[in-house]
Chains A and B, each alone.
Chain A
Amino acid sequence: MRRTLLAAAAAAALAAGLSGASAQEKLRIGLMSTLSGPSAALGEHMRDGFLLAVKHADGKLGGVETEVITVDDELKPDVGVEKAKALIERDKVQVIAGVVFSNVMAAVARPVTESEVFLVSGNAGPSVLAGKGCNPFFFSASYQNDQMHEVMGKYAQDKGYKRMFLIAPNYQAGKDSLAGFKRHFKGEVVDEVYTQLGQLDFSAEMARIAAAKPDAVFTFMPGGMGINLVKQYRQAGLADSTPFLSAFTVDGTTLPAMKETALGLFSSSEWTTGLENDANRTFVADFEKEYGYVPSLYAAQGYDAAQLIGAGVKAANGDLADKAAIRKGMEAADFPSVRGDFKMNTNHFPIQDFYLVEAAKRDDGKFDVKIVEKVFDDYGDVYAADCKMK
């Protein structure tokens, strides 16, 4: 037994020697996600999606033996920087993937790309990386932050809403979201409310909405805040009188807690479980079998992020030292995206379709979002024009 192993090892070594050592180098990916604290659900979805893609590739993204090292950024930018440095210097990763939150992304982008390590976003898409600060080593497999809000602004405009009530947490992403919404919405904003980050009780805001009597409400309220907001919106009776448009609020990570209270509320997404393409059917079925829950867009983005890396590695014929070839491969983005329609823009952000989705209950009693209508077709972000890719 021992001898056969040795012989096999010798043969493998010989083969390695013949085909060039570089092709045998392992692909090491640092998967950075938020796995603790109140927002850990998003990070877990993204991680599970990513790992499923690696599994579907038999552990070989782009045909190269792949090792994934998962780290938790704890949603603290300085911790993210520290962990990114560890991944680069200690684990010698060639790619860092994932990153749920924009503030962590903003912090790690510079050290990672300066080390000439590829950074592939599975969620966060801050505007600076899409525009002036675009970078040959940065790729997004998700979306640019503004786009999800633009979808709702466009929808509100098309629907003919005249008076909108906007509400978002008081931080940069919240302000950006309302700015994104207003890009396509030309009607009146009757009130613009910024709530405290991490706020639990929205009864004061409910009363203001009721007093303002808007045509509809738009909100960006991620994570636990969104769950509270939606429950209280329903309990205040507003869900029946005032349409609820949202981004990153009603999705697969929050629906298990919102349940019935979210039914009929709208959100924007570039992907749902119901998209009709083969890659998606396989992904959704295997994901539910493997992890026992309904995948969210974060899971889908994680899955595509891994596939995107695989496409790059494959284009370089597995030569991980050939970074130019890997980049070309990722720019071509030749892989079966679960989103179906997927192209890479000049700023390394996707050009894709965006949908209006609605929370619904499935036959098996679980909750999911389903597509109501397509709002944007092959849509790129507005910042790409500012990007001068070197």
Chain B
Amino acid sequence: MTARAAEDRPPEAPALPAPAGTRARALGRLLVPVLLFAAFAALPAAADALGQTFLVSFATRVMILALAAMSLDLILGYGGLVSFGHAAFLGIGAYAVGIAAEEGLTEGLAVFPLAIAAAALFALATGAVSLRTRGVYFIMITLAFGQMAFFTAISLSAYGGDDGLTIWGRTEFLGGTPLEDDRAFYFVVLGCLAACYLLARAIVASRFGRVLQAARQSPGRVAALGLDPFAYQLAAYAIAGGFAGLAGALLANHTEFVSPAYMSWHRSGELIVMVILGGMGSFHGAILGAIVYLGLEEALSHLTEHWRLLFGPFLVLVVLHARGGLLSLLPVRPRDG
């Protein structure tokens, strides 16, 4: 029997949210991220005022996973490439910090580039193989590489194996320890998120980004223009890996601990869910998705031990009633359009 359905099926990555006039879209693209980042910037002060200083630590984690989700969105939302092994990049970034610290290297100017490069290289190598496949096959082959990284981490008994590795101090910069202060670390993470957000938007707006998006919609036409869609997709895959590696380095610094659990396929699945939940194909959608996913998890788990009975149906309802993710529900469309 044949595998494929009718030609009129939507492509692997869905269309962007329904257009509501270009001006409204432009406004949304400006307003939502500005509001999101303003909220993050104001959060520590607000947390102090409310006496909820714990929120700062929680928001740090949210921003780090938002960065990872955003990097996934670069290839998923814009490149149409659903990576189901994205947590491996996160984990490799984290392990780069952990292993470097274990070997006595704690200088941030060396460690952070190392983490980014390690994850990007892994993405480059596995992407070169994975990009031979399409659709669900691509999802599964990226899962395969993710699982290989996961099992490798488990067998690294010199670095804690399955138990993971405690990092005895956050990464230093030029001999100082600016990250040790949680508040300072928060703003460093926020800065990374903002910088990567702007960089990612610049990438997709560039010629490179336009080719990448064209390659999602019709690889044949891109090839007809004399461009190699494979090269563009591979480059995007490696860039996304680098971003996720940075997120991993930050995560390792945040928890001061690395573990193979960072690379499990469950975590990869969570990242995909965050991206779809928020609304793919716009980086602030991925950020929003991470906020809502982790925020709901945190809030609901205080209500009842069986909070997943509420969380599961919530995800189903979002799919059924908010095409294009939560972003499509936001009232950012002015009446005068």
Contact = CB atoms under 8 A, between A and B. Distances in A.
Contacts of B164: 77, 103, 106-107
A78 B305 contact: no
A16 B267 CA distance: 49
A107 B261 CA distance: 12
Interface stretch (B8-16, B197-205, B232-240, B252-260): B252-260
Interface string A139-172: 0000000000000000000000000000000111
B304 to A, nearest CB: 11
Contact of B163 (A71, A85, A88, A126): A126
Interface in A37-94: 70-72, 75-78, 81-82, 85-86, 88-90
A267 interface: no
A228 B175 CA distance: 52
B163 A82 contact: no
A103 B166 contact: no
B155 interface: yes
A173 B54 CA distance: 32
B162 A110 contact: no
A111 B259 CA distance: 16
B57 A78 contact: no
A175 interface: yes
A78 B53 contact: no
A78 B162 contact: no
A318 to B, nearest CB: 25
Nearest to B267: A76
B93 to A, nearest CB: 13
A36 B154 contact: no
Contacts of B58: 82, 86
Interface residues of B, number: 27
A382 interface: no
A35 interface: yes
A106 B162 contact: no
Interface in B130-186: 154-155, 157, 160-164, 166, 168
B64 to A, nearest CB: 10
Interface of A: prevailing SS: helix
B259 A85 contact: no
Interface string A91-132: 000000000001100110111000000000000001000000
A76 B261 contact: yes
A130 B20 CA distance: 63
B308 interface: yes
Contact of A77 (B54, B157, B255): B255
A110 B256 contact: yes
B124 interface: no
A78 B262 contact: yes
Interface residues of A, number: 30
Contact of B53 (A89, A103, A170): A89
Contacts of A111: 256
Contacts of A210: none
Contacts of A15: none
Contacts of B157: 172, 175
A173 B160 CA distance: 10
A172 B158 CA distance: 10
Given A89-B57, A175-B157, A81 B162 contact: no
B162 A82 contact: no
Contacts of A75: 261
B251 interface: yes
B297 to A, nearest CB: 9
Given A107-B257, A110-B256, A111-B256, A72 B154 contact: no
Interface in B103-141: none
B218 interface: no
A72 to B, nearest CB: 7
A367 to B, nearest CB: 26
A98 to B, nearest CB: 15
A173 B163 CA distance: 8
A90 B166 contact: no
Looking at B53, B58, B166, the one whose CB has the most chain A CB atoms below 10 A away is B166
B217 to A, nearest CB: 37
A78 B251 contact: yes
10 cross-chain pairs, A with B, having the tightest CB-CB distances, nearest first: A171-B162, A90-B54, A89-B54, A172-B163, A172-B161, A107-B257, A77-B259, A81-B255, A103-B163, A78-B255
25 contacts: A36-B308, A76-B259, A77-B255, A77-B257, A77-B261, A78-B251, A81-B255, A82-B57, A82-B58, A86-B57, A89-B54, A89-B57, A90-B53, A90-B54, A103-B162, A103-B261, A106-B160, A106-B166, A106-B257, A107-B255, A110-B256, A171-B163, A172-B162, A172-B163, A197-B162
Given A82-B57, A106-B166, A107-B257, 13 more contacts: A35-B305, A72-B301, A76-B261, A77-B259, A77-B261, A81-B256, A85-B54, A90-B55, A107-B164, A110-B256, A171-B154, A172-B157, A172-B160
